[in-house]
Amino acid sequence: MDFPEILFFLISKMEDTNCIYKNPNEDIEARVKDLLSRMTLKEKIGQMTQIDRSVATPSAIKDHAVGSVLNGGGSLPYDAVSSVWADIVDGIQRSALESRLGIPIIYGIDAVHGNNNIDGATIFPHNVGLGATRDADLARRIGAATALEVRASGIHYNFAPCVAVCKDPRWGRCYESFSEDTELVRRMTSVILGLQGQPPPGHQRGYPFVAGRNNVIACAKHFVGDGGTEKGVNEGNTILSYEDFERIHLAPYLDCLSLGVSTIMASYSSWNGGKLHANRFLLTEILKEKLGFKGFVISDWEGLDRLCDPHGSDYRYCISSAINAGIDMVMVPFRVELFLQEFTSLVESGEIPIARIDDAVERILRVKFAAGIFEFPLSDRSLLEIVGCKAHRDLAREAVRKSLVLLKNGRDPCKRFLPLNRNAKKILVTGTHADNLGYQCGGWTITWQGSSGRITTGTTLFDAVKEAVGVTTEVIYEQIPSKETIEHNEFSFAIVAVGEEPYAESQGDNSELVIPLNGADIISLVADKIPTLVVLISGRPLVLEPWLLEKIDALVAAWLPGTEGQGITDVIFGDHDFKGKLPVTWFKSVEHLPIRDGVNSLGPLFPLGFGLTYNKGE
């Protein structure tokens, strides 16, 4: 240690018996002020640094006083169950607690539809499906269940919810958005109440709030306008006046601040050509100063690197632009030594003011104190039994039921096709998505992009049909139906499940939006011979040609329902009615995108809010 560090060390030891910051009975702001006064520049910069678990060695954590560790999507240990995760997180935490000041880390993860990185966890419908429910209390309860399953893994920090307003289904993150309608997105921010807990009466807007050990630090993302990019290009450019930008895309963040959201993540995207990660006007003047946000702003994964493109390899420029704009914590995640070296040099040279550093560290410490991480830094192993429990799976099943949108029911308006007869003699279940749990869950499930097959514990649509039908009913399954099967069996009806393969972020950008894997051909082959229900499993509306719609008897949009396929059979066999309404406009043709509710002259195939029911029609 150099002389200043030795001095700080000696002072801290002398005052250790009277540390305000270690006293949970002290006011949070007093604890923040006390701890900040004890910190060296190195320790302050360390707190502003978030690194990937793969480089989170004990020496890196302890020596650099790193403030946070994260798990990139799909960055899995060998056995990705909750107890293994808790061991990993606790091991990293113990290294942090051994640092000079003993400041605990917060461990972050993308648990965007349940604790989706963990084998055996409950996987809820993605946000577009929850938007179809329009049920704010359901979103809150899902947030609470997710928080418990995240904390069971020893993890404190969830990079959710996404409160983007998706204005174009070609966007690869469309399913992460609750709706194209700003007011519906605002309603569904109630998920924060489940993740963090209910703030007490008189809670100051913008001040971070986390109720206790069974809650997690939430993160509203991606600030701001990521759902409005031109042509739906991920990380693209949103072109709007400030007035429209504020009305459409900024509005949900007002609700997040009122609910005590602790952190906000900056967007990769741009607004009128300017990168959000370097936009001081929005990050500091609007979010922090005008709106009064007192938590911390975090960058996205390697978000600073995205600023370097026009400046070659000038990493110093990237750091100074982002930090001076208002980024408080940086997802490095790998170039730790270079980041710390350049960051320190920028502060020592005055290019980044020390006042900006102190402001950022105050915000980070405020969140850590508010979340109780100093008092309870290690995992609560008693929560392990709740991961994937029946109560949570029942909740997910309820969410699936309420998210389903009935788009067509019968060729004759006077003769409905659904509900199906569970005691029918013979049923065909077919299609690429009928017995594929990975497809049913979509992206951000176990791995970043998601994958095919039995990737975790759950019930496929085919599993659910077998459980739902009567004992005398014969169920025949073929992933790809053969002409022989179709022509040589007298089926009462067919259930055809097709849709999108899993994807995430830019890999999901799609300018065509046709049903993948020859989905339309599979539907046509079956519907030509057998009365057919089509269950479309997708993260957004897809092209439905008129000739295809005419062939089928019923059509259900199931979105990306997650692990509980019985939620679908609960409704199609009539145990529950359809409740879902379209959270997005269903377009007629990609040539007429982007379509806006009530704006496009062609008109939609199905308008925003459309959804049939058994009892009353639309």
Residues noted as catalytic: 300, 505
Helix %, strand %, coil % for the chain, to 5? 40, 15, 45
Tokens of 228: 């409005």
- CB atoms under 10 Å from CB of 295, counted, come to 28
Angle at alpha carbon of residue 613, lines to 610 and 616, rounded to 5°: 100
The helix or strand, by DSSP H or E, that contains position 406, with its residue range, turns out to be strand 405-409
Which tokens sit at 381? 């192993």
Q: Which two tokens stand for residue 592?
A: 């007429």
Eight-state DSSP code of residue 223: E
CA nearest 519: which of 590, 579, 434?
A: 434
Q: Pick from 441, 435, 438: which is nearest to 463 by CA?
A: 435
Give the C-alpha separation, 482 to 530, whole Å.
13
Q: Which residues pair with 478 in a beta bridge?
A: 430
Helix (H) or strand (E) holding 339: helix 336-348
User: Helix or strand or coil: residue 236?
Assistant: coil
User: Of all helices (H) and strands (E), which one includes residue 221?
Assistant: strand 219-223
Q: What are all long-range contacts of 14-21, with beta carbons under 8 Å and residues at least 24 apart?
A: 21/369, 21/374
Residue 576 carries which side chain, given as an amino acid letter? H
Instruction: In the chain, count H helices and then E strands.
Output: 22, 17
Please give the order of strands across the beta sheet that includes 106-109: 157-158, 106-109, 68-70, 49-52, 330-331
Beta partners for residue 69, in sequence order: 51, 107
Three-state secondary-structure class, residue 112: strand
Separation between Cα atoms, residue 326 and residue 333, nearest integer Å = 19
Which of 16, 64, 57 has its CA nearest to residue 43?
Answer: 64
Q: Are 498 and 456 in contact (CB under 8 A)?
A: no
Relative to beta strand 270-271, strand 426-430 is: unpaired
Those residues with Cβ within 8 angstroms of residue 505's Cβ, 6 or more apart along the chain or in another chain: 172, 173, 234, 443
Cα within 13 Å of Cα(186), Cβ side: 14
Q: DSSP per residue over 418-481, as a string? A: PSP-TT-SEEEEESTTTT-HHHHH-SSBSBSS--SS--SS-B-HHHHHHHHS-TT-EEEEESS-
